[in-house]
Amino acid sequence: MKKLAIGIDIGGTNTVFGLVDNEGNMHGEASISTRKYPDIDQYVEELYIGIQSLIKQLNFECELVGVGIGGPNANYYRGTIENAANLQWKGVIPIVEMMKRYFINIPVIVTNDANAAAIGEMVYGGAKGMKNFVVVTLGTGLGSGFVANGELIYGNDGFAGELGHVIVNRTGRICGCGRKGCLETYVSATGIKRTVFKLLADHLENSEFRSISYNDLTAEMITRAALNGDTLAIEAYEYTGMLLGQALADAVTITSPEAIFLFGGLAKAGKYLFEPTKKYMEMHMLSNFRNQVKLLPSGIDGKNAAILGASALVWQEQ
């Protein structure tokens, strides 16, 4: 009987889920609206119904080995989602306990999205066999998962790996966390939008972005413009890569990883992000680490990456 893990990624808008085997093959996936369920009990019930429906659609018998959940502000130790700014459920949500009412005899594990991505990279992706690496997720914010000695670093409280909140400029941009100059205010989908608006203010040259409002601008539009040769978009990526490269050089001194994987929307810009990031990372690197650390695109990045990452939590603990 084929063994399958359930992978669930809880996003602010939608929750995607699927059934994944231990080689990372997806055997059915679906989604429900996260926003539609302000009542968490209703949400969990709907999620259970959706998963049951996927299982019924399988054309083979399966054994479910566990449920892996990736979500914002998730705490691995406590099995909770805590005060997530982008979710409507306020306070501390005991998501593992709630899911266990439906999945009684199998493990239910939760962690944050970036940690799930790191474990996904280790189980199915480019970090197979690596003992020391970092995954940086570049979405609305910047998340990260650090693996050392073959294990994800959760830290004392379960919230380790907040590279997005390393401060790169103490008098810099206001961050959602209430402080100033956090890396994610520069290096993220939101960060590069802010950089484009800074460049529009500083420069006079024409740009397609002069007719677009802040609210309408997306990171994808900046990537497309860079691919079309827009100098302002390319400069925005250069600046983003500079700050990311410098921050990665600093992070390397702490955990000395074999590789750093870039995951998520912004990494899709390819050379426009990777080239400046690599250039500035090496330029600012302590000499014994120089040219020793691989900078790689994620090996699981794609439409199912978040489900794969969440399901990997289960396989990693088998």
Stretch that binds its own copies, among 19-27, 43-51, 242-250, 262-270 (CB under 8 A): 242-250
Going by the DSSP 8-state scheme, the letter that residue 174 receives in this structure is B
* Contact between 165 and its own copies per CB under 8 A: yes
- Size of the residue set binding its own copies (CB under 8 A): 42
Among 18, 79, 126, 158, binds its own copies (CB under 8 A): 158
Please say which residue, 174 or 286, places its beta carbon nearer to its own copies.
286
Comparing CA positions, the residue from 292, 231, 297, 287 lying closest to residue 263 is 297
Residue with tokens 């003992």: 131
Which of 109, 249, 281, 312 contacts its own copies by CB under 8 A?
Answer: 249
Type of residue at 202:
D
Question: Which listed range, 97-105, 135-143, 149-157, 263-271, lies at the site for its own copies (CB under 8 A)?
Answer: 149-157
Find the helix or strand (DSSP H, E) in which 272 lies: helix 271-283
Token output for 270: 């390819």
Q: Would strands 26-33 and 142-148 be described as parallel, antiparallel, or unpaired? A: unpaired
Minimum distance of its own copies from residue 255's CB (angstroms): 5
Task: Specify the DSSP class assigned to residue 165.
Answer: G
If the CB atoms of residues 24 and 257 are measured against its own copies, the closer one turns out to be 257
Alpha-carbon distance of 307 to 64, in angstroms, equals 15
When asked if residue 160 is in the footprint of its own copies (CB under 8 A), the reply is yes
128, 155, 174, 220: which one binds its own copies (CB under 8 A): 155
| Residue 122: CB atoms within 10 Å | 27
Which stretch, 22-30, 146-154, 194-202, 308-316, contacts its own copies (CB under 8 A)? Answer: 146-154
